[in-house]
Chain A
Amino acid sequence: MNCKKAHRQIHLFTELTSEEYDQLLNHINECEACMELAESMKLMTNIVNRISQVEIKPLNSAQLTGDIMSGISKSEFQTFNVLNWILSYLDLRQVRFTMATVSAMLIILLVVEQSKPTQFQSQYSSQVTTHSLKTTILDTQNFQHQLQNYKATEKFKLLNSCRNPFNESRYTAACLREKNERFKTI
């Protein structure tokens, strides 16, 4: 055994096998430097053993227990119970497998439902493509809106021409009747 190995083993003498210990002792008996190291290690071990026996207590044990218990609030107790129950339930392998299967089935169902055409689309799907159908619907809506705007503007123009030239808040009744009849024909 060389001194380098002995140096390490002296520090780890508590972890040695009996064979290693005997080899170390043989080396220490022959080597003065290692003997000196072993002596200082013995001193340190004695001190460490001495202080490991020292009883360490909190100043007020009951107070510390009280502080610990007050740190755990009632709400935490309740939350813990519910969470604990859920976690213990989820911990079962069968439950986890079932939930995974149900989730997968729901995803498949969602995809299938999304890919299905709507009732309106399916009614016209044989005649027009979805794209052209959407365009038609949008145009029709736009046309209806424009038509209503046009009608309102025209009616206003027609009725406006029936205003009394001397009092603008009044209209000529005969004129209104006539214009209204004309408007209906639009």
Chain B
Amino acid sequence: MQYSEELNLIKCAQGGDSHAFRKLVEMHQPFAYSVAFRFTGNAPEAEDIIQEVFIKLWKNLGKYKQGIKLTTWLYQIITNQCLDYLKSASRKHQMKNVEIKLGKQIRDYTNHEQQVDDQELLQVVTGLAKQLTPKQQTVFVLRDLEGLSVEEVCEVLKMSAGKMKSNLYYARQKIRQDLIQYYKESTKQEYNEL
């Protein structure tokens, strides 16, 4: 869809046209869901976040200024919503469950390494990313998984390039170390089974 067409939809939605807003939701929902899922690793929670995100977008659509990409603005809303989710006390409570699930996935992975598909690998890395601080996880998701440029990540997070790189460094270091540990454990288990 062209920028002018999207702009027309935004203008109509600003005027209260729910059909135009529905089209915007349909357009951006897949990418928004993808980002939320990369944060949560959990479909129902990602759906909840997405609902909140689009309701916020609707309420604040009047503040939209021409020249800014709606995608960039959406990234900001999604990231803030996900950061709230990551910082919430309930999330700390859920962390234990996530770790248990992750442990099971790792064991499954080692048993059937050849059969592990990308979806499962995604779950493993998402689970490892959850061990990072919220800021490190956000930078990792946006830069490495979503493939945003340094400038885009800085714009979305309103963060200096230096801070962004520092967070990215710690995030990659932790993920790398955890992945090495994960492979070591899986290899060890395979060896023991043989």
The 8 A CB mask of A66-82 against B (1 = contact, 0 = none) is 01110110001110110
Stretch with Cβ within 8 A of A (4 or more), from B32-40, B72-80, B92-100: B32-40
Interface size class of A (residues with CB under 8 A): 35 or more
Q: Tell me, rounded to whole Å, the shortest Cβ–Cβ distance linking A61 to chain B.
A: 6
Any A CB within 8 A of the CB of B25: yes
> How many angstroms from the CA of A55 to the CA of B47 in the assembled complex?
16
> How many angstroms from the CA of A58 to the CA of B51 in the assembled complex?
12
The 8 A CB mask of A116-156 against B (1 = contact, 0 = none) is 00000000000000000000000000000000000000000
Q: Tell me, rounded to whole Å, the shortest Cβ–Cβ distance linking A4 to chain B.
A: 12
The residue on B at minimum CB distance from A63 is B47
Interface size class of B (residues with CB under 8 A): 35 or more
The residue on A at minimum CB distance from B62 is A84
Per DSSP, chain A at the interface is helix
Q: Is there an interface contact between A65 and B62, defined as CB atoms closer than 8 Å?
A: no
Partner of B169, one of A11, A56, A61: A11
Any B CB within 8 A of the CB of A99: no
The residue on B at minimum CB distance from A85 is B62
Q: Is there an interface contact between A41 and B22, defined as CB atoms closer than 8 Å?
A: no
Stretch with Cβ within 8 A of A (4 or more), from B105-113, B141-149, B185-193: B141-149
The 8 A CB mask of B122-151 against A (1 = contact, 0 = none) is 100100000000000000000011110010
Partner of A54, one of B14, B62, B119, B179: B119
Within 46-85 of B, Cβ neighbours of A (below 8 Å) are at 46-47, 50-51, 54-55, 58-59, 61-62
> How many angstroms from the CA of A78 to the CA of B62 in the assembled complex?
13
The residue on B at minimum CB distance from A58 is B33
> How many angstroms from the CA of A81 to the CA of B47 in the assembled complex?
27
Q: Tell me, rounded to whole Å, the shortest Cβ–Cβ distance linking B194 to chain A.
A: 23
Partner of B172, one of A11, A56, A57: A11
> How many angstroms from the CA of A67 to the CA of B49 in the assembled complex?
12
Q: Tell me, rounded to whole Å, the shortest Cβ–Cβ distance linking A41 to chain B.
A: 6
Q: Is there an interface contact between B18 and A69, defined as CB atoms closer than 8 Å?
A: yes
Chain A residues near B22 (CB-CB < 8 A)? 65, 69
> How many angstroms from the CA of A83 to the CA of B147 in the assembled complex?
37
Given A40-B180, A51-B118, A68-B51: 10 more A-B contacts, CB < 8 Å: A51-B121, A59-B43, A64-B29, A64-B47, A65-B25, A68-B25, A68-B54, A71-B51, A80-B16, A84-B62
Q: Top 4 nearest A-B pairs by Cβ distance?
A: A84-B62, A56-B34, A44-B176, A51-B122
